[in-house]
Chain A
Amino acid sequence: MTDEPAIEAVDLGKRYRRRHKGERTLKSLLIEKLVSCAPVEEFWALRHVEFQVRRGATFGNIGRNGSGKSTQLGILARTVTPTEGEIRVRGSVATLLELGAGFHPDLTGRENIYLNAAILGLSRRQTEARFDRIVEFAGLSEFIDTPVKHYSSGMYVRLGFAVAVEVDPDILLVDEVLAVGDESFQRKCLAKIEEFQARGKTILIVSHALPTIERLCTEVILLDDGSKLRAGAAGEVVAEYLRRTLGRDRLLWVEEYGTRRVEIGGVCMYGADGRPSWDMEGARPARLEIDYVAHEPLDSVVFGFMVKRENDQIVFGTNTQIAGLSLPLPRGPGRVAVEIDPLPLLTGKYYLSVAVHSPDHQIQYHRQESWYAFNVRNGTRHHGEVLFPCRWVLEAGAAAKVTHDS
C-alpha cells in the first residue's frame, strides 16, 4: 500500500474547444446555425502526460503560461474531467485557493473560516476544534470579527492558507500562492510546508517562483504546450526550463551550436564540500568541470567559460588561450576543470556559458551559450554582484592604525 504512488497519471489528455470570437450566446448560436458555419477550434491543453508522485514527495510543476499546468492541477483536484487517460489519486486532496477564493467580502473572518473549511470538506465540529490554530497561524486574532472586505490582500491570503493547511489533507495542491504575503508570512508558509514534508504528506506545487520550487521540491515536471518536456530532479528540470524560457523571451542569448567535432558532454559545478550543485556559496572555493568527447584528433583547441547575468551582461569570461595554454586533443573522451578559489560573486542568479573552439575563433566546435543557470548565496551583506577583496583602513591621526578585514 505505502509503495503505491500517491498520484499516478497515465496518458493524460484534456481537450478544450475554443471559439474564435466572443462568448457563446444563444444569438450567436442561431446566427451560426443559419449561416451553417461553426468556427470552433479544438486544442489540447494537455496530452500524453505521464507522471507519478511518490507518497511523501514534493512535486513541482513548472512551465510557461498556457503550458497546461493549471489544467493538470484541475484534473488532480477533480474539477476538470480528463478527455483521455486516467489519473489515480490515493488519499484526500485539498487545494490552497488563490487569494481566498470562496471567501465572501461581507462576512467576517470568523464566518469565512467556517465557510471555507466547509467548502474544503471539514465538518463544523472539525472546524471548531481547529479554529484557534487557524486564527493563530493567520495572525488575525484582532481582526477575526471584521468583515474580510476590510482585509488587505496579504491578510486574505494568510487566512486562506491557514484554513487549507488545517484541513490537513493527504495531498496538498499549492497553486502560486506562496508568492504573496509579506516576507515573514512567506517564511511561515514555507515552514508549514516543510512541516508537511516532514510528516510524510504529498505536496504538489505549481509556481513560477523557481527558487521556491528548487528549494522545496524533490522532483519537478516541466510542461510545454501541453506535453511533458522533462521530469526529474528539481535542479536539472529548472535549468532546462530557464534555458528555454530565457531563449524564447530574448532577454538572454541562449543557444547551443557548433560543428561538434569536439562535443561537450556534461558540465558540472562543485561547491566547497566537493558535491555537484547549481547552488554555490560565494566567497568559498568552487570548481567547474567540463566533460567532452573529441570525435577526431585536433592540433589545438580552446576551452572557455563565461558567466552572465540575466540581462546578458558579462560578469566574467576566460579561456585556456588567455591562460596561455595550448591544448592538443587526442581522439576520445576527456575532462577539463577550472578551479575558482574563492568564487567572487554575491547572492544572485548567474548563467554559465561553456565553449570549445579553434584558437582563431573561426570554428566553434561546441558552444552552449548561457546554457546553465546557477545560484550564488553569499552570507556577507555587500551590495552588487562581484565580491571585491577589500579591507577598510582607518587612520585616526598618525598614531593608531586600525585595520579591519571585510
Chain B
Amino acid sequence: MKGLTFINEVRCRRSMLRQLVVRNLKIRYKASVLGFLWTLINPVLMAAIYGLFMGLVARVAALDEIFIGVFVWQFTMTCIGDGIHLVLGNGNLIRKVYFPRMILPLATAAANLVNFCLMFGVLMFILVLRQPGVVGPRLVQHLPHLAGLIGLQALLCLGVICIVATANVYFRDTEHLVGIFTTAWFFLSPVMYPVTLVREQWPQFLGPYLANPMAGLLYGYRRALLLTPPALCGPLLGWWALSLAVAAGIGVAGVALFQRRQREFADLV
C-alpha cells in the first residue's frame, strides 16, 4: 500500500496538524472585534434573508428548512473558499520546508469541521427555540445519524478542498470557475427549498438530482432534525444512498488527486 504511506507520515507530524488547526481557528476568531460571533452572524443573516424571500414571500420552504440548509451549505462553502488558496498561499512554506503536504487540506477541513460543530450547536439552539420540546428528543434519537452525516460531509469537504487547491496550482483561473460552479451548485442543491419541491415539479429528474452529494446530505440532516421531514421512499432511497456514496467518493478521489500531484507543487507555486 505505497499510496497510503502518507497516512503514517501525517500521524508522525500530528503536532503540526494540531498547530495548523489551532492557527486557522485563532485567525478566524481574532481577525475581527466580534471574532467568533461573525462566523455565526453571517449564516444567521443569510438564513434570515433566504427565509424572508423563500419562506415568507415565495412560500416554497419553511424557515427551519432554510436554517438547516444555510448552516450546512456554509460548511462546504467556507471549505471551498479556504481550499482555493491553500497551496498557493502557503507557497513559501511548500518551497522551503518538507512536510507531508496532506497536512494542509486536513488542517483546513478539520478547522472548518470544528467551526461547523460550534455552528451546529447554534443551529440546534435556534431549532429548539422554534420547536420547544420536540427537537431535543429527536436530536438524541438521531445523534449517531447526525454524526455520520457530519463525518461524511467533512470527508466530502476534504476532497473538495484537495481538488480546488490542486486545480488552482495548475490553472490560475480556477477561482473564477469555482465561483460560477458554486453558484450553480447552490441552486442545484436543496439549500433554500426542500427536496419535495423537485419531486413535485420535476419528478422524472428526482433520482439523478439526488445523486448530488449536497442534496443527499441536506436531505439527511433535514430528515433527522425536522418535525415533518420530507419523506422519500422506494427507489428514491437508493438514489439517496448513491448520493452519500458520491460524497465519500469525491472525498477519496480528491485526496488521491492531491497526493498524486503534491510532489510537483514546489515547482509550480
Contacts and interface: CB of A to CB of B under 8 A. Distances in A.
Interface string B18-50: 111011001100110000000000000000000
A115 B93 CA distance: 12
A120 B19 CA distance: 12
Contacts of A123: 15
Interface in A34-86: 74, 77-81
Contacts of B200: none
A118 B18 contact: yes
A243 to B, nearest CB: 31
Nearest to B12: A121
A216 B246 CA distance: 58
Given A25-B171, A79-B95, A79-B266, 16 more contacts: A24-B172, A74-B95, A81-B267, A97-B92, A97-B97, A98-B96, A102-B93, A104-B23, A104-B27, A106-B30, A107-B23, A111-B23, A111-B26, A118-B15, A119-B99, A121-B13
B259 interface: no
B78 interface: no
Contacts, number: 88
A289 B142 CA distance: 91
A80 B15 contact: no
B23 A79 contact: no
Nearest to B177: A26
Contacts of B99: 119, 121
A133 to B, nearest CB: 19
Contacts of B11: none
Contacts of B177: 26
Interface string B241-269: 00000000000000000000001101100
Interface string A1-42: 000000000000000100000011111010000000000000
A3 B11 CA distance: 33
12 contacts: A25-B172, A25-B173, A26-B171, A27-B173, A29-B171, A77-B98, A79-B94, A80-B95, A81-B264, A97-B96, A104-B27, A118-B18
B197 to A, nearest CB: 33
Contacts of B22: 111, 115
A93 interface: yes
A95 interface: yes
Contacts of A79: 94-98, 266
A80 B92 contact: no
Contacts of A118: 13, 15-16, 18-20
Contacts of A101: 92-93, 96-97
- Main SS of chain A's interface residues? loop
* Interface range for A: 20 to 34
A124 interface: yes
B115 interface: no
B96 A77 contact: yes
Contact of A107 (B27, B96, B263, B264): B27
B174 interface: yes
A92 B30 CA distance: 35
Interface string B143-185: 0000000000000000000000000001111100100000000
Contacts of A124: 15, 18-19
Contacts of A93: 98
B92 A102 contact: yes
B169 to A, nearest CB: 9
A78 B98 contact: yes
Nearest to B264: A81
A74 B264 CA distance: 12
B108 to A, nearest CB: 14
From A78, A93, A119, residue with most partner B Cβ within 10 Å: A119
B266 A74 contact: yes
A306 interface: no
A122 interface: yes
Nearest to A114: B19
A118 B22 CA distance: 12
Contacts of B20: 115, 118
A175 B170 CA distance: 27
A80 B266 CA distance: 6
Nearest to B13: A121
Contacts of B94: 79
Contacts of B13: 118, 121
Contacts of A26: 171, 173-174, 177
